[in-house]
Amino acid sequence: MQLVTIVTKKQDGPIDPRPEFQGGLNWFEERVIRNRERILAPYGLTDNFVRMSPNHEDEIAVVDEESLERWRGKLLAGRPEVDALVTNLPNIGLECLPADCGVYAIFHEELGWLGMAHAGREGSIVKVLEKTIRRMAELSGTKMEIFIKGLKIWMAPAICGKHYLKEYIEIPKKDLEEWKPFILGEKEIVDAGENYKIKAKDKSIGIDFVGFNCQQLLNCGLKSEQLDLSEVCTFESEDYFSSYRDKIAEVVQGRFMVMVMMKP
Ligand SMILES: [Zn+2]
């Protein structure tokens, strides 16, 4: 099996970049549909894809022959409401429209398994990436330690820790030491019952969830040469949509599309 990744820039128009068409209905715009077809047809993916509707949680959906019938080609209604998709079907695109969050492809060439996980701040806190890998190992009938040896992990552009600024982040108590190196700036730690609240001492802290996830992968036993993570920051690059940037500045919006598939 071979991994194919497709990342459009927002200028490619998988969603209409005109501000008045922000929201969901723009998917029915003819121009948008035409652009998608133009991009996907050469890969044979025009209708052969499953597009997730992410919730910033840790639910995982398995795309098999049966669920594919329900989800195939759905742009809006009828999509699986999950943050991860996994499949062993070749020639099927797994799709997500990110807006600063990390979108990961998890690929096992030899066993023929492909996953897509959507992990921003919330998804990283609930460790959706690691959970997806564990689920894939289970489905393939392989022990996690063995499974990870054959993996390749790829990530599309996402916001960096320097630019993703928040007043605080709340994390499970047991994960404090894991998170500490990836919370940038002067911070204080406040007891919040089951969680710790890591708060900015001054105005804001930077949350490097991409770095956190990378470290999680290494902790699982992956080697850095198995990782292919984009260094492009969606906040810095005008080519990608950044919900964080576009909320604080009046700029032309428009999403970008990330689709991955495996082919024999
Ligand atoms: Zn940045």
Instruction: Domain ranges for the chain, please list them.
Output: 2-164+208-263, 165-207
CA 233–ligand 1 middle distance (angstroms): 4
CA 208–ligand 1 middle distance (angstroms): 10
CA 63–ligand 1 middle distance (angstroms): 33
Element (H, E) at 60: strand 60-63
In the chain, what is the greatest distance between 2 CA atoms, to the nearest angstrom? 53
Q: How many CA atoms lie within 13 A of 125 on its CB side?
A: 15
For residue 27, give Cα distances in angstroms to 15, 51, 245, 254.
Answer: 7, 13, 23, 11
CA 54–ligand 1 middle distance (angstroms): 23
Surrounding ion ligand 1 within 5 Å at CB are: 160, 163, 233, 235-236
Name the class of domain 2-164+208-263.
Answer: alpha beta
pLDDT of the residue at 44: 95
- Identify whether the C-beta of residue 198 lies closer than 8 Å to the C-beta of residue 189: yes
pTM of the entire predicted model: 0.92
- Identify whether the C-beta of residue 154 lies closer than 8 Å to the C-beta of residue 228: yes
The 10s digit of each residue's pLDDT in 24-83 is 435 556 777 777 888 899 999 999 999 999 999 999 999 999 999 999 999 888 999 999
CA 235–ligand 1 middle distance (angstroms): 5
CA 158–ligand 1 middle distance (angstroms): 8
Helix axes of 209-220 and 128-140: crossing angle, nearest 10 degrees: 30
CA 216–ligand 1 middle distance (angstroms): 21
Residue-by-residue pLDDT tens, the chain, 264 positions: 999 999 987 766 545 444 444 444 355 567 777 778 888 999 999 999 999 999 999 999 999 999 999 999 998 889 999 999 999 999 999 999 888 899 999 999 999 999 999 999 999 999 999 999 999 999 999 999 999 999 999 999 999 999 999 999 999 999 999 999 999 999 999 999 999 999 999 999 999 999 999 999 999 999 999 999 999 999 888 888 777 777 665 555 566 789 999 999
Would you call 132 exposed, middle or buried from its count of C-beta atoms within 10 A (0-12, 13-18, 19+)? Answer: buried
